[in-house]
Structure 1
C-alpha cells in the first residue's frame, strides 16, 4: 500500500474531545484497498508509533468513498475493538451519508446539496467546504471563500473568516466571522462555542461568558438581525435560520 493511500489520524487537542480519521481519495472507483482496510491500518500504526491513547470518539472524513451500512458497521466494529466510538461521517457521497444516518451517525458533506434554486443566495454555496486539519493558535489567521471545517481548536488570538459557515470540531475561543462577504444565512458551529468575538455578515457580538452545556454543540445564527445561540444541528448542509429558530424556539 502506498503512502498516498494511508489514512491520517487527527488527534484532539484536549481530553474528552473527538478526533478525526481522514481517508485519502480512492485511486479508482473500485480500489483494491477498502475503507475498512485503511481504518485498520491507521489503528495498527497508531498503536505502534505512539504511546498516546486513541481518542474515545472519532469522526470519519471519507472523501469520495462509497460506504454502505455493512462497511460502516465494519468500521465501527474495528474502532470499537480499540475502544473508540465512531460518531460522525463527512462524505461527498450521498449514498454514504444515507447509510451513516441509518446506523445513527451524524453526517456532513463537503459540498452544498440540492438544486441551486433551493439554496439561500450568497457566496457560501458554490465553493463548498474547506478542511483545516489541526488547531489554530494565537496569531493564526484563516480565511476561506466558502465554508470551513476546523478539525481542532481555535485558540484565543486566532481568527477564522469564511464566506459561508464556520464549523469547529473542537473549542472555539478565538474570533470567528461567518458570512464575511454578506451571507446572513451563515452559521458558526462548535463543540464548545466560547469565542472572544462572533461576527455574522455585518453583525458583531461578544462571546458568551458562562460555561458551555456539557455534551452539546452550539451554533450561532442571525435571527431578526441579532446573533442567537442554539443547540447545533448534527447535519450538513445546515437548515435555514428560520427552520432552526422554529425547531429550537
Structure 2
C-alpha cells in the first residue's frame, strides 16, 4: 500500500499546521518544501498530496505528479440567480476596466490582484500589472450579514464553519451556530451544480434578501477556520492527488498547471 505524503509550502499557515498534525495522526507522511523547487527525490512522489497557495501549487504540482481540483472559472457566473441573489459576470479585466460603477471584482481561482469592491473599472490594476485577457468575476455589490465555509466531498458537507458576521471575522463551528439547519439546507442546492468531487464553497446570508453562494475555492488552498480538521483533510487529500487517481468525472476540473522550466 502506498504511503500518502502531504506536502506543504515554505509558508506554513495555521491551517497547514493543523492539517499536518491531523495527517501525522493517521500515519500520513508530512514534508515541508523549503523553496519553490521540489527535491529530485520527491518528484512524482507516489501518493503525494499538497496544501499550498495557488502560485506555489502551480510551481510544484507537475514535479510532484499532482492534479489539483478546482471549480470552473465561470462557475459562479453560471449559477441561477436564486443561488447568487446578485448579477455575476465572467469576463476579462480589460472589459472590467470599462466599468463606470462600483463592482466587486476578483480573479476566479487565484490571488493575482486584490478581490474587493472597486469604485469603477479605472481603479483596477492596469495593463502593466495584468494583461487585458486575464479572466475576472464581476458582481453586484452586496452585504453579507453572515458567511460560512463548507468543505464538500461528493456533494455532501463534510465539515463547516462560520467565518464572518457583519463583514468582520467571527469564527465558530457550524454545530454551535443557530443557523446550522439553514446553512445545511441551502448547501443541498449545490448538489449537481457542476462542482468537482472535493471543493470548498462559501455561502452567506445577505442582509436584505436571503441565502446565497459567496464563491467556490480550491480545498488544497483554503483555510479551515473552525472546521473539523480531520474532515477538512479528507477533502484536501481528494482535491490534490496523483494524476492517475482521478475518476473520469473529475478530470475536467483539474487546474491547468504550467510547465516550470528549471535552470
Question: TM-score scaled to structure 2, two decimals?
Answer: 0.29
Higher helix share: 2
Question: TM-score scaled to structure 1, two decimals?
Answer: 0.30
Higher relative contact order (CA 8 A, sep 6+): 2
